[in-house]
Amino acid sequence: MRACTALLVTLTANVATVCFAARNNFKAERKSTVTHVMDQIGALLQTRGVSSGAVLENLRTLVTPGATESLNEVLTKVIGDIEANVESRIKAGHVDTQTALKTRIDELNLATTHAVDQKKTSDELDRGWFNCVADEKAKKVAVEEAEAALAAAQKAQIAPCQLQEDRKMFSFEANPDSLSFVCNIATHGNCDPQLQNYEAQVESMLQGLESDAAAAEKRWQEAKAACDAAKAEVVAKRSALDSAISVWKAARKDCLAKHESRQITVCIFGTTLQHKCSKVAVYKSLLKEVDTVNGGEHSHPDRIKEWKAVAVTKCMISKVVEGAEIDTATLDACESSLNYDRDVGVLDRQESQLAALTSPKKFTCEEATITFGGETWEVPQGEMPASSEYVSKADHPEVSLVADTTPFAFCGSGGSSLIQNFWGHNTMVDGGFHGGLTSDPMHQSGQ
């Protein structure tokens, strides 16, 4: 903090030329110089451990030998200068520190809001991608079911089509023995009965042939219908398989796009979290400055100590002007009247806000891992992987909270340029970050 030797250097020039040669009127019978008054006050304050030596030393420099003003007049001017130049500076320092704390907490609040919002978006996209891959896997199962159905249909086609093939030929052989014609004209006189019988046999044979041919044709038609139905089923199953493959490939493409968006968003979240945590570090660093004894411009204990020295000295001088003795009773009265919080202000360290902004829901900045949906997929590569190769597992990726580092291993390089672009509200297509991402490989590995 500023040195006490500078406390009253800025006292007005007219006071610097004032003479302390006049006698004090606080006791008619007692005559004393300003220097003597200061010595008495200083000695008394030292008994209480109040360091006012630098203050009083600066006051002594204002004494001009030979001046004719009364002691009370000089001391009153000194009080005015203390108020105008010393107390005002201390109060301004208090306000500056309070403003710095408020500014830092506001910056942290904004950074936290960005991180929380980006995490919410990341969670949504992560869950959307996870569900998409679950659907992709289901569609791959549908492909495999369609493949199995096609194979079953192809197998089921064999029997009816073979039966049709087997039934395409029809043959008929008449029994020559049953069609013999014998007629003894000498016995019967003519062959009319035998001819009629023979014709009846031939007619019966022809009728049997027609019946057998019709039955054979019917059986072949039945086999053909069954074969045609089996072939149609194969065509339908092949079409269903083609459709299932097309649907699966579309889902795979959609999931890959969702994964790319998810990855970029998660990596942006990582940089916003790093940014938030850097603001936490800045704020805690400022709090450390505020609490440091013999510190810098924001040291609160130094300012209180300085205020106490100045305030008690001013009070003692005021008591002298009022005619009081310079004794322990006067000092007791002055010390009891001191109230830094009332006269300067209460320093709001914003600790409740800090606690709220570093709660687990808003990130403590001590996280080692981050959970999004809590699950991820190992997505298989290849043109036609098996559905069994889609494997889900728990997912709690490690995170780096150090600014300008890669927040997550799968983000690749370019974290620094990413955060600059993000906080500058530029489009996220810079080569540093986008080029560092692994698109399809990450989709395949599920990271």
At which residue do the structure tokens 């709090």 appear?
A: 287
**pLDDT of 136 strictly over 90:** yes
**pLDDT of 424 strictly over 80:** no
Q: What is the pTM of this model?
A: 0.71
At which residue do the structure tokens 């991820």 appear?
A: 376
At which residue do the structure tokens 């600059």 appear?
A: 420
- What are 64's two structure tokens? 């001009």
Name the least confident of 47-51, 119-123, 143-147.
47-51
Name the least confident of 73-87, 289-303, 363-377.
73-87
3-state secondary structure of 8: coil
pLDDT, one tens digit per residue, over 173-194 is: 877 777 777 788 877 678 888 7
Query: Torsions phi, psi of 394, nearest 5?
Result: -65, 150
pLDDT at position 282 is 97
Higher per-residue confidence, 15 vs 178: 178
- Residue 73: pLDDT band with limits 50, 70, 90: confident
pLDDT at position 64 is 52
Give 3-state DSSP helix, strand, coil % of the chain, rounded to 5: 70, 0, 30
Using left for φ > 0, alpha for ψ between -120 and 50, and beta otherwise, residue 444 falls in alpha
Higher per-residue confidence, 6 vs 351: 351
CB count within 10 Å of CB 234 equals 19
Query: Torsions phi, psi of 246, nearest 5?
Result: -60, -45
**C-alpha to C-alpha distance for 303 and 137, rounded to whole angstroms:** 67
Q: Whole-number mean pLDDT of the chain?
A: 82
